[in-house]
Amino acid sequence: MKILVTGGAGFIGSNIVDTYISNGHDVVIVDSLETGRLTNINPKAKFYKLDIRDPKLESVFEEERPQIVNHHAAQMDVRRSVSDPKYDADVNVVGSLNLLELSRKFKVSRILYSSSGGTVYGEPVYLPCDEKHPIRPICPYGATKYIFEVYLDMYKFMYDMDFTVFRYPNIYGPRQDPHGEAGVIAIFTGLMLRGKPVTINGDGKQQRDFVFVKDIANANYLATINQKGSGVFNLGSGIPTDINQIFDALKSITGYEKKVSHGPAKLGETSRIFLTGELAFEALGWKPEVSLYEGLQATVEYFKLKEVDL
């Protein structure tokens, strides 16, 4: 099967590409490299350096004729979405619509889309959040991620184009950027391995649902080969972990000796969110396999070996 992966040079997308290729699929990557890395690209994939908003994207579809599109290219920084909501919408809505229209034109059979369970629900009414939880984002990023979910549902109605929406939890693991604005585990790991001060935004009691990136890649693979019809799935563990716990675990694994400091909380950040993964298990046979501590150990080892410029 030929699969086009947008954002395939990024943290999550590149892990998904590797899973597809290891299972014998033909993969085409489209990535602007604004946040992705050339070093993440699987050498067996065909790569186009291109923004999803670029009209030249049509020539990629014309040349490659993908059967499946896995859409992970995005503006994913919550703080940037707050400071520049127009840019956030341009990439996450207008760029995604460009991709969707081309998928319709070239008769793609399914689009897989990475949405955000951590932001589309806003401050939860109940926990863990399931897929029926009210949608009420409190930041522009969450709004734009959900808006494209609506377009996918609309295109299913109008054109019978199947889709899979994954509402992601906090994903961590190898290839996450230790210098980015998102990804607390990668940021803490990078700072600790360099012996630098670590600052937690707020009191550190914010709770999140952390799932290892290999488990997320497996969910994408299962949906690609097994799913019938269309659906929206949370990929949660259902287990809340607060940021102070993450700091303590990484401190133990890395041997970090400094004390943590606390700064102001981030605007637009949900205080407590974790997701159920029951529907994904029922429909796809998916559940997280890697425990948090095991995943943290694997992440630290990767950073020691690969992130030489920490």
Q: What is the pLDDT of residue 78?
A: 86
pLDDT-derived band at 271, boundaries 50, 70, 90: confident
Q: What is the pLDDT of residue 302?
A: 96
Number of domains within the chain: 1
Q: Residue 180: pLDDT above 70? A: no
Concatenate the DSSP letters of all residues of 228-282 into one string.
-S-EEEE---S--EEHHHHHHHHHHHHT--SPPEEEPPPTT--SB--B--HHHHH
Computed over every residue of the chain, the mean pLDDT equals 95
The angle formed by the CA atoms of residues 31, 227 and 113, to the nearest 5 degrees, is 30
Q: Residue 79: pLDDT above 90? A: no
C-alpha distance from residue 100 to each of 6, 95, 154, 175, 299 (Å): 12, 9, 11, 27, 34
**Which residues are bridge partners to 261 per DSSP?**
199
Name which of 276, 198, 283, 184 is nearest 235 in CA terms.
Answer: 276
The domain in which residue 158 lies consists of 2-172+211-238+274-289
Q: Is residue 181 part of a domain?
A: no
C-alpha distance from residue 197 to each of 1, 92, 154, 168, 261 (Å): 47, 33, 48, 29, 8
Beta strands (DSSP E) in the chain are 2-6, 26-31, 46-49, 68-71, 110-116, 162-168, 170-172, 199-201, 207-208, 210-212, 231-234, 241-242, 261-263
Q: What is the pLDDT of residue 229?
A: 94
Backbone angles phi, psi at 171, to 5 degrees: -105, 140
- Longest CA span, the chain: 58
Residue 169 structure tokens: 């939890």
Q: What is the mean pLDDT of residues 173-186?
A: 85
Q: Residue 258: pLDDT above 60? A: yes
Q: What is the pLDDT of residue 181?
A: 58
Q: Is residue 259 part of a domain?
A: no
10: domain CATH number is: 3.40.50.720
The separation between CA 30 and the C-alpha centre of its own chain, rounded to angstroms, equals 16
pLDDT in tens, 8-40: 999 999 999 999 999 999 999 999 999 999 999
Q: What is the pLDDT of residue 269?
A: 74
Q: What is the mean pLDDT of residues 123-143?
A: 96
Q: What is the pLDDT of residue 263?
A: 93
pLDDT in tens, 277-296: 999 999 999 999 999 999 99
Residue 265 structure tokens: 């909380």
Q: What is the pLDDT of residue 182?
A: 65
Q: Is the dihedral of CA 125, 128, 134, 137 positive or negative?
A: positive
Backbone angles phi, psi at 12, to 5 degrees: -75, -45
pLDDT in tens, 104-126: 999 999 999 999 998 999 999 99
Contact by Cβ (8 Å): 148, 135: no
Q: What is the pLDDT of residue 309?
A: 59
State what percent of residues in the chain have pLDDT above 90: 91
Q: Is the dihedral of CA 289, 275, 164, 95 positive or negative?
A: negative
Run of H or E including 216: helix 213-226
pLDDT in tens, 207-233: 999 999 999 999 999 999 999 999 999
Q: What is the mean pLDDT of residues 129-134?
A: 97
Tokens 């460009």 sit at which residue?
98
Q: Is residue 257 part of a domain?
A: no
Judged on CB neighbours under 10 Å (0-12, 13-18, 19+), 30 is: buried
The residues annotated with a catalytic role in the active site are 141
Kindly provide the b/e burial profile for residues 167-183, where b requires at least 16 CB atoms within 10 angstroms of the residue's own CB: bbbbbbbbbbbbeeebb
Cis omega (within 30 of 0) for bond into 134: no
Q: What is the pLDDT of residue 306?
A: 82
Q: What is the mean pLDDT of residues 264-285?
A: 90
